[in-house]
A and B are shown apart, each in its own frame.
Chain A
């Protein structure tokens, strides 16, 4: 038996039956990382020593009989989420030598359960991108085809789970950064409702959209991890305690909306076939399928790429060469330290977003860009509100195509931005969405996106789990 094949649930059963120890499971994953990650580049750092001491603690818990489903389960954390004592770089040169001085709330929650943290995963710099090609430390390769991207920005977290270099991982999603790599790598990825999970200790990209979420081998595992990390945290004022829904959700009692705008020009024919097949399977299982319209979809990318860089330009102002991170101390004046440290520390994409955001917020342009985008955001949100008056869930593609070639879009930022076409509207509206493996095109995985109303992750997860068995 290869221990890295096991899901969270299966590994937990194994611990219960004393078939193997948490140390053995951790060692199996660490061995796998050594074997395959040189090639994939999913990890930016591996914390072998602390992982083994986590495992030792977990084994003690297991021996006591008082342990939970995540006790002893090896996981990987996106390198934009703080783990105390470990480097946290956000895949940026500006944070190359930064060591986290505290745990993110999600990290704290995983540690409390006794999870084993294997290391930190690669991402686009400051989570800005759709392919991890913007990482300052090299691109993540797709485990299904190493000439292709793993998707981004949580590409390292997705590839690590797909290549069995971690039992599960945490990613973060601002415009599609969990769902897109999950789709490209053939795993399950959940972007929770805005406010479901605390962002305390997540390096901020765009604060009105950022969410942390689980990336797992299957839906059952996704549910387990989500239930651990969610909830109100006094250190994140936007976090809320969602009500527990005890109702049973089944495909046969659900109304599923299919937005016509998501099946328009630009959608790969093979991807369309796979998504339509998944919708058909839901219909055969008794769901009511209804075509819906989200008429402001065409404005989503423009709206998103004004709001996000605006917030990012403000969030990234903290990297000034003074408080922490890279600093050019050879400069004579404070101003020169700012210019040099930021100029040398940031890569091209953060620079582009800082420039775009600064421009959108600047005198004379604010009304035309930022204010207009905020108005359009309300329209996008209203589209979804109206849709959810008559349906339970939305089914659509995660991306217009499967994983693309490394380098294919790297030199054209606008074409990279357009990859977010089916994922960023959800974020503008603050909704939850999940990517479920639904098939493949020539060996490249394709994800079905299941979108729910605010705080209805349970409904998404229940339907996804049922569908997982028939796809």
Chain B
């Protein structure tokens, strides 16, 4: 079983506040799921050729890295919960 401390550590990495109840449920759920993942240990290793193959292969579709004017900047900034002029406002960082 994954420990409470481990759950709290992962939640911290993920910037997620969990309640005591949620931590308890996560311990139980994640443990069962991670145990199930052990199945992969018995999976064969892919051949050398397969290992080198790219799964996606979409890189050739990338467009040129050219800036384009976006017409939506006002609306997008307008969606922010707190802003000042054209800037999104955030709380104190330190």
Cβ of B86 under 8 Å from chain A: no
Are the C-beta atoms of B91 and A333 separated by less than 8 Å?
yes
CA A313 – CA B15 in complex, angstroms? 11
Residue from the list B16, B44, B92 in contact with A379, Cβ < 8 A: B44
B:29-46 near A, CB below 8 Å: 29-30, 32-34, 36-37, 39-40, 43-46
Are the C-beta atoms of B14 and A358 separated by less than 8 Å?
yes
- List of B residues within 8 angstroms of A208 by Cβ: 55-56
Residue from the list B14, B25, B62 in contact with A354, Cβ < 8 A: B14
Cβ of A63 under 8 Å from chain B: no
Are the C-beta atoms of B91 and A336 separated by less than 8 Å?
yes
Are the C-beta atoms of A376 and B43 separated by less than 8 Å?
yes
CA A417 – CA B34 in complex, angstroms? 13
Residue from the list B44, B50, B56, B91 in contact with A332, Cβ < 8 A: B91
Rounded to whole Å, the gap between the CB of A15 and the closest CB of chain B is 34
Residue from the list B30, B40, B45, B79 in contact with A299, Cβ < 8 A: B40
Per-position 1/0 for B45-80, Cβ under 8 A of A: 110001101011010011100000000100110111
Residue from the list B15, B16, B32 in contact with A414, Cβ < 8 A: B32
Cβ of A298 under 8 Å from chain B: yes
Total contacts A-B at CB 8 Å: 148
A:379-418 near B, CB below 8 Å: 379, 381-382, 413-414, 417
The CB with the most chain A CB atoms within 10 A, among B13, B19, B78, is that of B13
Cβ of B17 under 8 Å from chain A: yes
Are the C-beta atoms of B81 and A378 separated by less than 8 Å?
no
**Using a Cβ–Cβ cut-off of 8 Å, how many residues does chain A contribute to the interface with B?**
65
- List of B residues within 8 angstroms of A320 by Cβ: 15
Rounded to whole Å, the gap between the CB of A87 and the closest CB of chain B is 12
Are the C-beta atoms of B90 and A355 separated by less than 8 Å?
no
Rounded to whole Å, the gap between the CB of B66 and the closest CB of chain A is 11
Are the C-beta atoms of B37 and A302 separated by less than 8 Å?
yes
Are the C-beta atoms of B43 and A237 separated by less than 8 Å?
no
Q: Give chain B's interface residues, CB within 8 Å of chain A.
A: 7, 10-11, 13-19, 22, 25-26, 29-30, 32-34, 36-37, 39-40, 43-46, 50-51, 53, 55-56, 58, 61-63, 72, 75-76, 78-82, 88, 90-94
Some 12 contacts from A to B, beta carbons below 8 A apart, are A195-B58, A306-B37, A322-B81, A334-B93, A337-B90, A337-B91, A339-B16, A351-B26, A352-B30, A355-B7, A373-B40, A417-B33
Could you list 7 further interchain pairs (A-B, Cβ under 8 angstroms) beyond the known A302-B40, A333-B93, A381-B55? A238-B56, A301-B36, A302-B39, A324-B76, A343-B19, A348-B25, A355-B16
